[in-house]
Amino acid sequence: MTPNNNKKKNHQPQKRTNGSGKEVKHMTTQDNIENVMDEVKEFLLQKNIQYGDSVFNPVRVFSKVNKDEQLKVRIDDKLSRLMRGNDSMEADEDIVKDLIGYLALLLIAMRSNSQ
């Protein structure tokens, strides 16, 4: 039995050749997962800086609901925009990245509430 180390595995793209023998890199599903999650992580960190940690340290003007409920409202708003397909507001891909970010923040909030 090999020891379970928690080091990040380095997923190298599979190498293949095209019809002319030239090598072409093929992205595996694992590569794509890593790339998308890295992109979402950077996106979420930038948003957190841009908006001044407004999810976990909001300026309370009107709403007094807890962080979980605030996040759920934001998620509902994003889902509503996605379902309406109104790309004049923002691109579907941006909405999806925002949703992934909000869901990650909701998970963080839920975990912090249970401690």
Q: What is the pLDDT of residues 61-93, one digit of tens each?
A: 888 888 889 999 999 988 887 788 765 667 778
* Beta partners for residue 17, in sequence order: 23
Residue 46 lies inside a defined structural domain of this protein: yes
Computed over every residue of the chain, the mean pLDDT equals 81
Residue 82 lies inside a defined structural domain of this protein: yes
* Six-digit token string for 64: 């007094």
Residue 4 lies inside a defined structural domain of this protein: no
Residue 9 lies inside a defined structural domain of this protein: no
In terms of residue numbers, what domain contains 42?
Answer: 15-113
- Rounded Cα distance, 19 and 8, in Å: 34
Residue with tokens 């007094």: 64
pTM of the entire predicted model: 0.69
Residue 25 lies inside a defined structural domain of this protein: yes
Looking at residue 14, its pLDDT comes to 58
Looking at residue 58, its pLDDT comes to 84
8 A C-beta contact, residue 97 and residue 40: yes
Give the HSE-up count for residue 68: Cα atoms under 13 Å, Cβ half-sphere: 8
When divided into structural domains, the chain yields a total of 1
